[in-house]
Amino acid sequence: MATGAQLTASQFANLRTFLVAARHASFALAAQELSLTPSAVSHRIARLEDSLGLLLFERLTRQIRLTTDGQRIYAALQQCWDSLHAALHGGDLLAGNVTVHARPSIAQCWLVPRLAGFTALYPDISLDLRVGNEQVDFRAGQVELAIHYGDASFPGLASQHLMDESLAPVCSPAYAHEHGLLDRPENLKNATILHDTLAWPACAPDAEWQSWAAALSPAITLPTRSLRFDRADLCALAATHHAGIAIGRRQLVQPWLDSGQLVLPFGGFNVASPQAYHLVHAARSPLPARVQVLMEWLLGQAQER
């Protein structure tokens, strides 16, 4: 690899290609962004690896993954790229890409319906939204911000409280009438309850139902008949189709309540969730301006309701 002023246009292109491929964790997606073929991306990465004498990616079946060296170089190169971008734009870095990770339910029900407002305010910031139930690994630098539902313990990371959550059973109006549920929580024994088995990290499969039931006086005995999902939004969707009664999170199910597809048979959201939503990112100071404005916008959205 040439150093200092000897960095050639070809080597610069290889570094840019590496940044994009690492961010997407995909040669094919990098090729789309860069208007190249996947083969051209692969060749550029191979040339960069040869020049560095390092293996940057593990080539797995149908996927790639940064090696330890790749993670280290990606993190350093991303910081350099941010600094260069800032210098070229007079210190204003309200442009570029921000990769955000969120659990599927909060992404679909809360975040995605609001994104048009962000892009209208910041048209030069591109958001790359990744969803999944897996834990986020910030060490590789591929995710810059995560929306986490759980407790506030994030060792080695920085976090900011986004919003609280409250719980209440929800079902379709027809299901409530059919099973005599309106104002009669004791009739749950005749119902099918819907579980989000991955409500938060390392929770029991029925954790949300147990939290709600324990807050009642007297406590309710839950039925054993159930359907299980790994997403809160799928529980709510199943409830709209009369499959049973789910624990609704207010931040997620309010649109279904507003439309009348779901009702609150036992009253409103009077049980606080033991968990909350947090914005989590690597402990990096200062944060890139594009990440900072996204966090500020998210906090503003959380305060609207």
Please identify which residue in the block is written with the tokens 């609704």: 248
| Domain limits, CATH 3.40.190.10, in the chain | 164-274
Task: Report whether pLDDT(5) > 50.
Answer: no
Q: Which of 98, 101, 104 is nearest to 130 (CA)?
A: 101
For residue 216, count other CB atoms closer than 10 A to its CB: 12
Residues 6+ positions from 137 with CB-CB distance below 8 Å: 143
Which listed CATH number (3.20.20.70, 3.40.1030.10, 1.10.10.10, 1.10.645.10) goes with 1-90? 1.10.10.10
**Over the stretch 226-237, which tens digit does the pLDDT of each residue have?**
999 999 999 999
Find the distance separating the first CA and the last CA of the chain, reported in whole Å: 53
Q: Which CA distances in Å does 18 have to 6, 35, 73, 196, 227?
A: 19, 14, 10, 38, 44
**pLDDT in the model for residue 276:** 96
The pLDDT value recorded for residue 219 is 72
Query: For residue 160, is pLDDT > 60?
Result: yes
- Min mean pLDDT across 26-40, 101-115, 164-178, 225-239 is at 26-40
- Crossing angle between the packed helical segments 9-24 and 27-34, to the nearest 10 degrees: 130
- Could you give the residue range(s) of every CATH 1.10.10.10 domain in the chain? 1-90
What are the phi and psi torsion angles at 65 (to 5°)?
-145, 135
pLDDT confidence band for 3 (50 / 70 / 90): very low
What count of other Cβ atoms lies within 10 Å of the Cβ of residue 43?
14
Per-residue pLDDT at 93: 58
From 69-73, 111-115, 272-276, the region with the lowest mean pLDDT: 69-73
The mean predicted confidence, pLDDT, of the chain is 89
CATH topology of domain 164-274: D-Maltodextrin-Binding Protein; domain 2 (3.40.190)
- Has residue 64 got a pLDDT over 60? yes
